[in-house]
Amino acid sequence: MSNPITPEQLAGNTERSQQTALFCQAALNIKKYPCLKWLHAIPNANSHKMVSEGVRAGVADVFLPKWSIIRISPVHVRQAHGLYIELKTEKRRKEKNGGLSKEQEEFGKDMIAAGYQWYVCYGWEEAWQRIEEYLNGSQIEY
């Protein structure tokens, strides 16, 4: 029996390859976290046809529809209805606004206000860390 493909083998220096690596990591951990079967990618609006079909610019790349508790201070927590991740490559971290478009920033703020958790992650490893923290209720935002 051959060895499974690893996220490290898939991760290149594009956002697409980083997202592929993240979904590989999720698949490798589905027994530990069964809710990962609903982790899904959201297409970005890059054509008029997609926009007319309801795809919107600014919406995060990945969504996990799972409720969790978020720690916001040493003594305060809040509920989150799900987790959105905007995935970027590491090289985008130093760009203006961390590589986020105005629409992506607006989406993140609106989703947090609506009771969701939203993170910008630079690479699949950081995204996976945030997912595990979210699933284990151990995020610290303060």
- The predicted model scores a pTM of 0.89
Residue 94 pLDDT exceeds 90: yes
What is the per-residue pLDDT across 14-39, written as a single tens digit (0 to 9) for each? 999 999 999 999 999 999 999 999 99
- Residue type, position 94, single letter: K
- What letter represents residue 44's amino acid? N
Of the candidate ranges 63-67, 69-73, 93-97, the one whose mean pLDDT is the lowest: 69-73
Query: d(Cα 7, Cα 101) in Å, to the nearest integer?
Result: 27
Q: Please check whether residue 99 is in contact with residue 132, taking contact to mean a CB–CB distance below 8 angstroms.
A: no
The answer to whether 64 and 83 are in contact (CB under 8 A) is yes
Q: pLDDT tens, 100-142?
A: 999 999 999 999 999 999 999 999 999 999 999 999 886 655 4
Q: Which residues of 6-36 are buried (b: 16+ CB within 10 A; e: fewer)?
A: ebeebbeeebeebbbbbbbbbeeeeeebeeb
Pairing label, strands 62-64, 83-88 = antiparallel
The two three-digit tokens of residue 112, written as one number:
């947090």
pLDDT above 60 for 1: no
CATH of 30-136, one of 3.30.420.480, 2.170.150.20, 3.40.1350.10, 3.40.50.1390: 3.40.1350.10
